[in-house]
Structure formats: structure tokens, C-alpha cells
Structure 1
Amino acid sequence: MSSSPATPTPPAITGLDFVGIPTQDAERARRFYGETLGLRPDDHAEFEFWIGGTCVGIWEPERQGRPFAPQKNAHLALHVDDVPAAKAALEARGVTFHGDVFDTGVCHMALFTDPDGNDLMLHHRHTPTRG
């Protein structure tokens, strides 16, 4: 009778260290995320920003021999307290949104893209989570 090898235990994943944002122009992306969106720049990395406790790192895939492709249908849900007000403020800074603010019954959302076509959204959950 042969015994099958034991299935290895999965690694202990304890958090999300950063989210990579692909770009074809790191300077343009840096201005968009830092100046237009107003994200807090990292004190030690020119192309990283902080959203709460999550780091957003801008990178150019083509510089590493990989093809550029924007992140589609995997929106970064950027928390704001008031989606319509935040949408209006970003529209005044030249950001174009894809439609109006919509209510899912649980949250308000407004969809847009960065200059490279990466999908983003403004988001506010208005229904309490189950605890």
C-alpha cells in the first residue's frame, strides 16, 4: 500500500503589503496619485503612496521586460465619507467618471480610471457590516 505525500500547509498570509499600479509613464502617474487624488506620498520611495495602511506602488512593467496592461475590472475601492462630494471635487480637477454615483443598497460608488486606464472607484459603505 502506497501512502500519498502530505499536503503542505498553506503559508500564513497576515496582510496586504502593497498594491502595484502599472503605468507607462511613472511621472504622470505620480502626479495623478499625489496631486490629483491627494494621496500621501511615502517618505522613502518616490513612486509609492499611502491609502490608510495600504501602500500603492507605481511601476512600469515595460522597464522589466513585461507588457503593459491596465488593471481592469479589479477596481481599487478608495474610501471617502461622501462619494458625491468627492466625485465633484475630482471632476473639478479634471477626472472623468463613468456615469453617476450609484447605490448598491450597501454602498455608494463612482467609477473612474487613472491616466493609464487602471480602474478605480470612490466608495462609501453606508450599511453596517455584520460583526
Structure 2
Amino acid sequence: MITVERTDFVSVPVTDMQRSIAFYGETLELPRASDAEGWPEFQLGENVSLYLVDPTNIGREFEGPHTSSIALRVPDVEAAQRALEAKGVEFFGEPFDTGVCHMAIFHDPDGNTLMLHRRYAPRED
């Protein structure tokens, strides 16, 4: 049996590292966690970081963007969407309510799917 202590990072494939660094660092205003030897990470809350990787640097090809959303928890989905739209980020419609949370979906410059997210109902276990 293995014991998973936590998720350390989520990898996101990119094709233009400088463009992606600007998007995640300046547009989304995520704090930089590290830049060890050209492998930038941005902090997502307390225990997870978002790691940008150019697949060609590890002998692979860019096979397309992530299509499953990386949910970024924000205090107010509508306010965060307006702020990002003012910076030129395009969303897929207005924020929507699932009955337990609010969400708004958008892409990074390489087409990776991201979501602004705020749960307002308690989790059912």
C-alpha cells in the first residue's frame, strides 16, 4: 500500500514558455514558487503548485492542451471573471451555478482548460 501525502504540483504543457510565464504570473497574478533551471512553478494556495513544462525539453512532443479543468478557487467567481476579461481573457459564457458551486471556464494561451471556482455548499461525504 502507498500513502499519498498530498499533491505537490500539476503539470501544464506549454509551447511558448515566456508567453505562458506572462499569462500565469501577470494575467492570473499567481505567485512564483520557483524557477529551477527554467522549470517555472506558480503557487496555487497552500500545498499545490502549477508547473509549466515544454514537452520538447524532455524529449516529447506537445500533444495538445489539457481539456480537464484545473479549478482555481477564488472568493468571487463573477468578480474574478470581470477582472480577467479586462485583461483580455476570453471565457466560455457567463459564470454558472451547479447547485453546489459557481464556475467560469477559460483557456490559457495554449488551450489548457482552467476554471474559476467557488464551492458554496458543504461537501457530502
Question: How does the TM-score come out when normalised to structure 1?
Answer: 0.87
Aligned to 1:28: 19
- Structure 2 stretches of 5 or more lacking a match? none
Runs in 1 of length 4+ with deviation above 2 angstroms?
43-46
Question: How does the TM-score come out when normalised to structure 2?
Answer: 0.91
2:30 aligned with 1:39, yes or no? yes
What is the count of residue pairs matched by the alignment?
Answer: 121
2:43 aligned with 1:18, yes or no? no
Which whole-Å deviations, capped at 9, do the CAs of 1:12-57 have from their partners, x for residues lacking one? 1111011001000111110000000000101554511101121111
Which whole-Å deviations, capped at 9, do the CAs of 1:67-121 have from their partners, x for residues lacking one? 212101x101000111000000000001000111000000000000000000000
Q: Per residue, is there more strand in 1 or in 2? A: 2
CA distance in 1, matches of 2:71, 2:18: 23
CA distance in 2, matches of 1:70, 1:113: 9
Aligned identity (percent) is: 48
Aligned to 2:41: 48
